[in-house]
Structure 1
Amino acid sequence: MKTIKIHFLLLASVLLLFGSCEGPFSQIDESIDDVELKKGSVKKSVELTEADSLGILFMREEEKLAHDVYEQLYVDFGHQVFLNIATSEQKHMDAMLRLITYYKLEDSATEISGQFNNEELQTFYNDLMASITDLASALNAGVLIESADIEDISGLIEITDLKNVKQVYSHLLNGSYNHLSSFERILDKVESKQN
């Protein structure tokens, strides 16, 4: 995902130049719902840039990737952490969709699980799913996804001046840190039992 971030930031720069998991998740999800998207909540002097548009659309699909992976892993392994975090990721997807609607962008996310318009995200998804053979590797996939989310969201926060976009990204970032912590904690327990 570092490659995705680098490619995304390079593209954004070019465009600019030319023209158990319950309490913390529910609190973060509720705060995402509270982010103000009404007209007037964004200063008129701050314009939506091409990089902002690309970032919003990218994060919509990256949150979908997390959701789709965790939903499938819950089916495959039945561990509650996957269901809890998949539910949280759906709220993150919805938050990004609200930004897309507010700024009148065209949603690039498909409704089909495991399918993505962004080719790098599609490759990442395919590679992740192919690497999963047991619960430990499934949890490790969660670690990889959340680590990538943290890196990508942090980069997007740095390049936007839009307050409401920063707020949504910040809530997503907090959620990703919580998700990462949960996956790492459970993975440690699973691996310790295997040794």
Structure 2
Amino acid sequence: MKNVKTILGLVLAAGALFFTSCSQTDEIDESMVLADKSAAFATALGDSCTYDGEITEADVEGLLFMLEEEKLAHDVYLNFYNSYGTAIFQNIANSEQAHMTAVQTLLEGYGIAYTEPGAEGEFENEDLAALYVTLTAQGAASLVDALVVGATIEDLDISDLNQRMGATANADIIRVYGNLKKGSESHMRAFVSNLTALDGEYTNQYISDEDYAAILAGSNSRGNGNGGNGNGQGGSNGYNTAGGDCDGTGTATSNGNQGGNRQNGKNGN
């Protein structure tokens, strides 16, 4: 939670550092827009969760928070796609949808009640709601600023996932978080690559210099992200909530129209 609160101030400072008047969208490296989080799950195809591990109150809190943090990324990127029409934002937003579905599948598998994602920009967590307003305003300044915001979100996401994985002993949660982290690393490379193409830059704020360098030195894997049975049509205000392996290998869709709270058979301890 500390990361979310501190980012509100840091992102404004980052905007001043990285702002540029360049608006040459034709310089965007479209070879990177397929850096899809679900593609990073290829190594986990065929795996499934057991849903029989111990779930602590901290685990429950973490899953509920990560669901909304993934929604934050999804909603911010859709906002930027609507503003700039740049494909990288739409493609990565679709990938964030797959992330949300993966977390929801875990919540449902463990019978944890949760509120289904609401409309764009709406969050249960007040800090994330405020962060959405801050980030979209920051990215409205220019395409470069929007790409910086994208890199910032992935930076924060990786840091939060590292902390969450270190605080749980549940193998299912560790598996899912690890795959989400791989995806965020892929996204960070995509955003930084496109920033470089527009003479912009990004400096890591949450992960270590060593981790950041290792991420940039990696390579994006590609895949169709169609593992599992991820074709569920439930959802709330356009968000898919059903289907897909717990690894997040399912195909995300966005044509649900139901709302409300999910109440399943058991709650976390």
TM-score band (shorter)?
Answer: 0.7 to 0.9
| AA aligned opposite 1:152 | D
- Counterpart Cα distance in 1 of 2:43 and 2:68: 21
What are structure 2's unaligned runs of at least 5 residues? 7-31, 201-269
Equivalent pair of 2:36/2:92 in contact (CA under 8 Å): no
Equivalent pair of 2:35/2:92 in contact (CA under 8 Å): no
Q: CA offsets per residue over residues 135-191 of structure 1, 9 Å max, x none?
A: 011101101100010000000000111111100000000000110110011011112
Partner of 1:123: 130
Partner of 2:198: 190
Partner of 2:9: none
| Aligned partner (choices 17, 39, 56) of residue 27 of structure 1 | 39
- Counterpart Cα distance in 1 of 2:45 and 2:114: 19
Partner of 1:67: 74
Partner of 1:152: 160
Cα displacement (A) at 1:105: 1.4
Q: Decide whether aligned partners of structure 1 residues 190 and 55 sit closer, same or farther in structure 2, where only a CA change above 3 A counts.
A: same
Equivalent pair of 2:151/2:191 in contact (CA under 8 Å): yes
Cα displacement (A) at 1:35: 4.3
What are structure 1's unaligned runs of at least 5 residues? 7-19
Cα displacement (A) at 1:111: 2.2
SS of the residue 1:191 aligns to: coil
- Counterpart Cα distance in 1 of 2:3 and 2:163: 13
1:52 paired with 2:64, answer no
- Counterpart Cα distance in 1 of 2:80 and 2:151: 13
Q: CA offsets per residue over residues 83-132 of structure 1, 9 Å max, x none?
A: 11011100000000001111111223432111101011111111111112
Partner of 2:114: 107
Equivalent pair of 1:139/1:183 in contact (CA under 8 Å): yes
Structure with greater helix percent: 1
- Counterpart Cα distance in 2 of 1:70 and 1:34: 29
Partner of 1:164: 172
| AA aligned opposite 1:138 | A
- Counterpart Cα distance in 1 of 2:45 and 2:192: 27
* 4+ aligned runs moved over 4 Å, structure 1: 29-35
Partner of 2:227: none
Q: Decide whether aligned partners of structure 1 residues 26 and 152 sit closer, same or farther in structure 2, where only a CA change above 3 A counts.
A: closer
Q: Decide whether aligned partners of structure 1 residues 177 and 60 sit closer, same or farther in structure 2, where only a CA change above 3 A counts.
A: same
TM-score norm. by structure 2 comes to 0.60
Cα displacement (A) at 1:71: 1.1
Identity %: 36
Equivalent pair of 1:64/1:109 in contact (CA under 8 Å): no
- Counterpart Cα distance in 1 of 2:60 and 2:110: 8
- Counterpart Cα distance in 1 of 2:40 and 2:160: 19
- Counterpart Cα distance in 1 of 2:122 and 2:92: 19
| Aligned partner (choices 81, 96, 103) of residue 96 of structure 1 | 103
Q: Number of matched residues?
A: 174
Equivalent pair of 2:35/2:187 in contact (CA under 8 Å): no
Equivalent pair of 1:69/1:125 in contact (CA under 8 Å): yes
Partner of 2:4: 4
TM-score norm. by structure 1 comes to 0.81
SS of the residue 2:104 aligns to: helix
